[in-house]
Amino acid sequence: MPPGILRHKFNVLGIEIDAINLNSACEKIDQWIQKKNPVYICVAPVSTVIDCQDDPVYRTVINSADMVTPDGMPIVWLGRTTNKSIQRTYGPDLMLAVCEKGLAHGYRHFLYGATPSTLQRLESRLKNQFPGINIVGSFSPPFSPTAKKEEQATLATMNQSGADILWVGLGSPKQDFWMQMHRARLEVPVMIGVGAAFDFLSGVKPQAPRFLQACGLEWFFRLSCEPRRLGRRYLIKNSRFLFLLLVNFFRKDR
């Protein structure tokens, strides 16, 4: 954590989550950009918390991030038991909020991830929604199931772009490993991993209605849309999350 910026956190099964909302997250990001502090930001839904239970290296990557946002409603509900100001700080919402607030400061954005067609649609939609937004570059890396070291030429392009924010849309855990792996090699002040935000905001994939998001049922909507791909993630990991919370509760109660 860069000096001078206080961090309030709560713990969920060993994962340190920031006690924030969209406004406070945007304020911190603005401070980091102004001070040129090199940071990376992870979003933490239930699936990330569960993945960290089985992979201590991944847990270190997440807990080493400069901000870990409460991305899923179950995470938010747990945080609100100690801090009522916590709100869901979800990848797509965070991206839109930062893009909007950044207009006044002239933030320069670089998009990394997804397919070329998705990036093209995303850039077009962001420019329509935020006239004057400064998108200084984008890159769609070749598909890889895990994070790989990026070519030096691509990193040089990112550095030379003068970007203030590098949006990383590779999905978790790959995007988190990628950011940690490249943090020291990039001059961009802020890297933010935003999961499926590129697909949602570009319109490539449908986003759950707000009322389902608010009551913690976004997982059901996404499972209905992509049952094969997301079945294990939601049915098994969500069940395991509840089980581990119960185990943790009864251990503390002894």
Contacts of 132 (CB under 8 A, 6+ apart): 103
pLDDT in tens, 74-113: 999 999 998 989 999 999 999 999 999 999 999 999 999 9
Residue 190 scores a pLDDT above 60:
yes
Residue 1 scores a pLDDT above 60:
no
Report CA-CA distances (Å) from 69 to 41, 136, 167: 8, 26, 15
pLDDT in tens, 209-241: 898 998 888 988 988 999 888 888 888 999 999
- Please tell me the distance from the alpha carbon of residue 248 to that of residue 185, in angstroms, as a whole number: 39
Residue 3 scores a pLDDT above 70:
no
Beta pairing, strands 9-12 & 15-18:
antiparallel
Beta pairing, strands 165-169 & 15-18:
unpaired
According to the model, what pLDDT value does residue 234 have?
A: 86
Domains and CATH numbers, the chain: 9-202 (3.40.50), 212-253 (no CATH)
Ordered DSSP codes for 116-172: HHHHHHHHHHHHHHSTT-EEEEEE-PPP-SS--PPPHHHHHHHHHTT-SEEEEES-T
Helix then strand then coil, % of the chain, to nearest 5: 55, 15, 30
Mean pLDDT of the 163-182 span: 97
Please, how many CA atoms are within 13 Å of residue 152, restricted to the half-sphere of its CB?
0
User: Residue 67: which pLDDT band, with cuts at 50, 70 and 90?
Assistant: very high
